[in-house]
Structure formats: structure tokens, C-alpha cells
Amino acid sequence: MLLPFAKIIRSEEETIKIAGNFARLLKPGDVVILTGNLGSGKTFFVRYAVKQFGIDSVSSPTFAIVNEYDGSMKIYHFDFYRIKNSAELFDIGFNDYLNDSEAVSFIEWGEMFPEMLPGTRYEVDIILYENLSRAIAIKKNKPIKIAIRK
Ligand SMILES: Nc1ncnc2c1ncn2[C@@H]1O[C@H](COP(=O)(O)OP(=O)(O)OP(=O)(O)O)[C@@H](O)[C@H]1O
Ligand SMILES: [Mg+2]
């Protein structure tokens, strides 16, 4: 898969294929945030992405805040939806999860606490339209380097 990626999606099968292709780019230590309205398919995308690592049991982490999976890759799957402030994230040791260089972290609603995210991360944006088609856009976000001319 070449990034940035963008496509209009009209079936679950298309999302499944894109999620699988995306997962092949992932390396231990990577962080992936997923944005998109309620029911747009963030959990669905993670479920089919981590199938690449032999994991078949992904459920939504909305209530648990984080679910952990062990396949050919260790996976942390977060959902910020119910988090009220970044102090709650410190309390669950969010930074320790992210600093686990052997795991890939997926974060639904990650844009809610941008200050908690590493500058380098993948961003999966899903839009669910009224006609039930979807748009999926994926890019790699890198910290902006500011060149200072002397
Ligand atoms: N093309 C598609 N891609 C993804 N999901 C689809 C598609 N077509 C239908 N769906 C359905 O849409 C639903 C998406 O639900 P999902 O829980 O993944 O959304 P979500 O973005 O994680 O929601 P939330 O914001 O509540 O966490 C699933 O029931 C899935 O079967
Ligand atoms: Mg979800």
C-alpha cells in the first residue's frame, strides 16, 4: 500500500482488504490512530488489520479503554471515547503502553488527546456518508521539522 491512501468504499470486503494491506506496513512500536464518526468502522478496521497477526477476537475497547492481544505481534487497542481528560490516560499508564517497542498500538478517537500522541504515527480517517458509503484515508504523520536559517 502506498501512502497517502484514499478511497471510497461501498462494501465490508473492501474495508477488509484495505485493513489487511495496511497492516503489512506495520512494525513493532508503531502507533495508529483512527478517527471517524460513530459506527464509521474504526473497530471493524482494527479487527481486520490485526488478522494479519493471527488475532481473531477483537472487540470494541470502549468500556475497557484498552484491550491487549498476543499474536505474531503484540497489540494494544485503545478507545479514547469515554476518556474525560489526559490525567485518566496517565492513570492507566498510557505512556508505558505506547513506549512498548514490541507492540503496535491502535487508538480509536485518538484525535481527542493529540498532546498524548507521538509525533510519528499512522492516521486512518473514516467517513460514513448518509448513503452508507464510506471514505477511508490513511497517511503517515511525521513531526514537522522547522528549519531555522542563520
Ligand atoms: N464498508 C464497511 N467498512 C466498515 N464497516 C462496515 C462497512 N459496511 C458496513 N459496516 C458495518 O459498520 C459497523 C461499524 O462499526 P464499528 O464498531 O467498527 O464502528 P466504530 O467506528 O468503531 O464505532 P465507535 O465510534 O462506536 O467506536 C459494523 O457493524 C460493520 O459491520
Ligand atoms: Mg469502535
Distance in angstroms (rounded) separating the CA atoms of residues 4 and 62:
28
Q: From the CA of 147, how far away is ligand 1's center (Å)? A: 41
Q: Which strand ranges, in their side-by-side order, compose the sheet holding 5-9?
A: 5-9, 134-141, 121-128, 31-35, 103-108, 74-79, 66-70
- pLDDT of 38 strictly over 80: yes
Question: What atom of ligand 1 comes closest to residue 134's alpha carbon?
Answer: 1
The domains found in the chain, sorted by start residue, are: 5-141 (3.40.50.300)
Q: From the CA of 27, how far away is ligand 1's center (Å)? A: 25
Quick: pLDDT tens for 78-133.
999 999 999 999 999 999 999 999 999 999 999 999 999 999 999 999 999 999 99
74-79 and 66-70 strand pairing: antiparallel
Asked whether 132 lines ligand 1 (CB < 6 A), one says no
**Contacts for 76 with CB less than 8 Å, ≥ 6 apart:** 66, 67, 68, 97, 100, 103, 104, 105, 106
- Mean pLDDT for the chain overall: 95
